[in-house]
Amino acid sequence: MAAALYPNEPILLVDDEQAFLFSAENVLISNGLTNVKTVCDSTTVMNLLAEEEFSVIVLDINMPIISGMELLPQIVEKYPRTPVVIITAVNDVESAVQCIKAG
């Protein structure tokens, strides 16, 4: 019998760096958060959100094609009840303020 996934709705990790996604997913799983999905192509995020509910979205700011800064207001508008955690390797106060203003 397979163990139940936790949380019920998956955690969505969005980052263009495969190595980060692999590491973050392993850390979450090793800490009991077994329901994790990863996406490295930011252009697929909105379609994925339309198909499935997520407990939380962890979103990188700096990604090619569609940045996290562009995705954030779209996510907040269409899925206001889904929490979004923004991550970045850049130490930039202005980006943090923009994210807060975007929801």
DSSP single-letter state for residue 2: P
Residue 2 token pair: 């397979």
The model carries a pTM of 0.87
- Per-residue pLDDT 10s for the chain (103 aa) are 456 788 899 999 999 999 999 999 999 999 999 999 999 999 999 999 999 999 999 999 989 999 999 999 999 999 999 999 988 877 766 766 676 677 6
DSSP E strand boundaries for the chain: 11-14, 36-39, 56-60, 84-87
